[in-house]
Amino acid sequence: MVEARRSGLEDHGAHEAVEVRRSRRRRRTVSAYREGGRTVVLIPAGFSPAQERQWVDAMLVRLADGDRRRRPSDTQLAARAADLSTRYLGGLARPTSVRWVANQTTRWGSCTPADGTIRISDRVKGMPGYVLDYVLLHELAHLLHPGHDRAFWRLIEGYPRLERARGYLEGVSATAGLDLDDTADTPEDVVPDDAADDAIAL
């Protein structure tokens, strides 16, 4: 038997979807994992509502702690970008800063070639490393070439998990009902070099 609920869980500062699945086969064990844009918590069918709430809260804290340990800092992100530039772009892409941002809700990452900055959406945190590497490499390539023409894709075609990472991001977009595309240049994605906010986005 599976029961689902959505929970705000304001006491942990999280506003996330939580799906609770009750199982008659479970007697005492509780587990949790991330699935798309929600957290799934598996509990025994016999748990009371109070036990359910207690275990959901505990598992959210445990998952958040694990996420924090796995997420690279801005410094680690910049080092990762430098390594990717060396391996796949001959070290030609040299960003002045690479950092996580929370305000990108319609793109995975963006860069401003005029000042060499790269911003990666917090949405990418917790995704597999090869996906983060693809998003970083994509933005690094934009420091060298705007747009998504053949010349751009030739820059990053050496990345061995290119298609797999793109497929992963497409799946996340579709599951979460987002309209995020890594190939579409819209007017807000590419701004002329003389503009104050010259940004190219993934």
Residue-level pLDDT at 201: 59
Mapping DSSP onto H, E and C, the string for 32-93 reads: EEEECCEEEEEEECCCCHHHHHHHHHHHHHHHHHHHHHHCCCHHHHHHHHHHHHHHHHCCCC
| Most confident by average pLDDT, 2-6, 27-31, 104-108, 133-137 | 133-137
Which tens digit of pLDDT belongs to each residue from 141-166? 999 998 899 999 999 999 999 999 99
Distance CA 172, CA 134 (A): 15
13 compared with 183, residue with greater pLDDT: 183
Domains and CATH numbers, the chain: 10-70 (no CATH), 74-201 (3.30.2010.10)
- CB 185: neighbour CB atoms within 10 A? 14
What pLDDT score does 179 carry? 66
pLDDT (tens digit per residue) in 39-72: 889 999 999 999 999 999 999 988 887 766 655 6
DSSP SS3 for 38: strand
pLDDT digits (tens, 9 = 90+) for 84-119: 999 999 999 999 999 998 888 788 999 999 999 999
* pLDDT for the residue 25: 85
Task: Tell me phi and psi for residue 27, to 5 degrees.
Answer: -105, -50
Residue 184 pLDDT > 60: no
The predicted structure's pLDDT at residue 194: 35
Residue 9 pLDDT: 36
Helix axes of 74-89 and 129-144: crossing angle, nearest 10 degrees:
70
Share of the chain above pLDDT 70, in %: 77
pLDDT at 175: 81
Give the least confident one: 5-14, 129-138, 156-165. 5-14
Tokens 């796949």 -> residue = 88
Angle at 106 between CA 132 and CA 66, to 5 degrees: 40
Residue 151 is predicted with a pLDDT of 94
Angle at 90 between CA 191 and CA 181, to 5 degrees: 40
182 pLDDT tier (thresholds 50, 70, 90): low
What is the structure's pLDDT at 185?
A: 45
